[in-house]
Amino acid sequence: MASILSPAPGNVGVVRSIDDKIYVGLRPLSTRTYVAVARGSKARPFAVVRASSEKKVSVKSSGLSIEECEAAAVARKFPDPPPLYRPQGPKGTPVVQPLPLSRRPRRNRKSPALRAAFQETTLSPSNFVHPLFIHEGEEDVPIGAMPGCFRLGWRHGLLEEVYKARDVGVNSFVLFPKIPDALKSQTGDEAYNDNGLVPRAIRLLKDKYPDIVIYTDVALDPYSSDGHDGIVREDGVIMNDETVHQLCRQAVSQARAGADVVSPSDMMDGRILAIRMALDAEGFQDVSIMSYTAKYASAFYGPFREALDSNPRFGDKKTYQMNPANYREALVETEADEAEGADILLVKPGLPYLDIIRLLRDNSSLPIAAYQVSGEYSMIKAGGVLKMIDEEKVMMESLLCLRRAGADIILTYFARQAASVLCGMKGN
């Protein structure tokens, strides 16, 4: 415990020591002796509880009492201040007249304390949602294209990873399953199996860590033998309304297992309203919907598809995911998702689409999420391994940029690593 200042009759105050240590928070910094100071006594050295380990500044004492110091001040007899020193530029610096500037923005950047005081955007572990890949095996399997990421065994590795993430303040997680090929079908029926991989993992996590927030992915591609987010017609067309029917069953199954937020990533038309109605009809009014509102047909998803073994068997996803060239179209999706009952709007990918994040932020009062996707993660990791960039600094800057653009939460594979850095630990 630190020192306390208690008033005493006839005294200015008494500094009373509870113990002999200086504390920051609850941690002692150093041993320090405290001496009482009473009115009328000669000035004696005493210690001040400091919030850092800065060096003690030595000031020569005049030996005067408070009354004597006050009398000297009334008589305008002040001690000489230290001489003013102005640092000089290097030899050869031109001598110029100061520019007649009414504003100099650098004034607010001149010290760490000022920069911290005026920082507009902040990062916290509470801003992160940690994506986790799970599979039926017991061993954790490394993902080659995503260094540091694994397919986690749902009964062991998953619990351990969540434990480590919670230890640094990350309490939100989204699950992505690697489904055995034998369970995949053209209609993706395994997606709504109440005893499937995802529902089992949700129940296990909620039993062990009831306070965490579990997001789920609502889409058929991990369960489809065709690798698409919807049911594929014989001519290759992705069927919209029939897919939405399956997605509703999937969302209800996930809610029944204990999911807090279901996240349709399929980009079918009308699925938000249909899922909202299906959840409400089953009594899950409190389950939120995070819509992948602006999900683009991006080349940045490659490592993710390796992680889930969910590459399309043919063609691409351009008939349902958005064209990367389109900006205004994101407003069409935003208006539809808001009207249909979405609780959170998501933009995917993240960094290459900062303008879209800002667009949604400026046009919606709903929370905005950004997904820093696998390709973004892998590029930063690769650059760090090759010593082309400082991985930790680029990681933190990239996340800060997503927040600055308007994202309230960020789905990122860096969640635990970045949270460790924010907690003052090495970001491993």
pLDDT (tens digit per residue) in 329-347: 999 999 999 999 999 999 9
Active site residues: 295, 348
pLDDT at 54: 53
Q: Is the pLDDT higher at 7 or at 341?
A: 341
* Closest C-alpha to 130, from 415, 377, 420: 415
Mean pLDDT across 350-374: 97
pLDDT at 147: 92
Q: Domains of the chain (ranges plus CATH)?
A: 1-77 (no CATH), 125-422 (3.20.20.70)
pLDDT at 23: 41
Q: Is the separation of the CB atoms in 294 and 334 below 8 Å? A: yes
Mean pLDDT across 166-187: 96
pLDDT at 428: 57
* Closest C-alpha to 371, from 269, 263, 280: 263
Q: Is the separation of the CB atoms in 164 and 404 below 8 Å? A: no
Give the bridge partners for 152, in sequence order.
Answer: 134
Mean of the per-residue pLDDT values of the chain: 88
The three-class DSSP label of residue 15 is strand
For residue 390, count other CB atoms closer than 10 A to its CB: 12
pLDDT (tens digit per residue) in 23-62: 444 444 444 444 444 444 444 444 444 545 555 666 677 7
* pTM tops 0.95: no
Residue 199 has pLDDT above 80, yes or no: yes
Q: What is the Cα–Cα distance from 8 to 365, expressed in whole angstroms?
A: 55
Residue 57 to residues 45, 48, 125, 129, 405, Cα–Cα distance (Å): 12, 11, 37, 46, 44
Model confidence band, residue 198 (pLDDT cutoffs 50, 70, 90): very high
* Closest C-alpha to 176, from 139, 232, 123, 129: 129
* Closest C-alpha to 34, from 23, 251, 346, 269: 23
Residue 272 has pLDDT above 50, yes or no: yes
Helix (H) or strand (E) holding 338: helix 329-340
**Long-range contacts of 179-187, Cβ-Cβ distance < 8 Å, separation of 24 or more:** 179/222, 179/223, 180/136, 181/225, 181/309, 183/223, 184/223, 184/224, 184/225, 185/223, 185/224, 185/225, 186/224, 186/225, 186/226, 186/231, 186/232, 187/231, 187/246
Q: pLDDT exceeding 70 applies to what percent of the chain?
A: 85
pLDDT (tens digit per residue) in 216-230: 999 999 999 998 999
- List all residues 6 or more positions away from 154 whose beta carbon is below 8 Å from its beta carbon: 134, 135, 136, 197, 200, 201, 204
pLDDT (tens digit per residue) in 289-330: 999 999 999 999 888 767 766 677 788 899 999 999 999 999
Residue 252 has pLDDT above 80, yes or no: yes
pLDDT (tens digit per residue) in 117-165: 999 999 999 999 999 999 999 999 999 899 999 999 999 999 999 999 9
Q: Is the separation of the CB atoms in 315 and 340 below 8 Å? A: no
Residue 419 to residues 25, 254, 299, 396, 428, Cα–Cα distance (Å): 20, 28, 27, 10, 10
The three-class DSSP label of residue 300 is helix
Determine the distance from the C-alpha atom of residue 315 to the mean position of all C-alpha atoms in its chain, rounded to a whole number.
34
* Closest C-alpha to 342, from 368, 373, 370, 372: 368
Mean pLDDT across 223-238: 94
For residue 285, count other CB atoms closer than 10 A to its CB: 9
pLDDT at 308: 67
Residue 171 has pLDDT above 70, yes or no: yes
Q: Is the separation of the CB atoms in 342 and 357 below 8 Å? A: no
Q: Is the pLDDT higher at 289 or at 16?
A: 289
pLDDT at 53: 52
pLDDT at 33: 42
pLDDT at 172: 97
Helix 157-167 to helix 197-208 angle, to the nearest 10 degrees?
A: 50
Residue 260 has pLDDT above 80, yes or no: yes
Residue 275 has pLDDT above 90, yes or no: yes
Q: pLDDT exceeding 90 applies to what percent of the chain?
A: 75
Q: What is the Cα–Cα distance from 352 to 107, expressed in whole angstroms?
A: 32
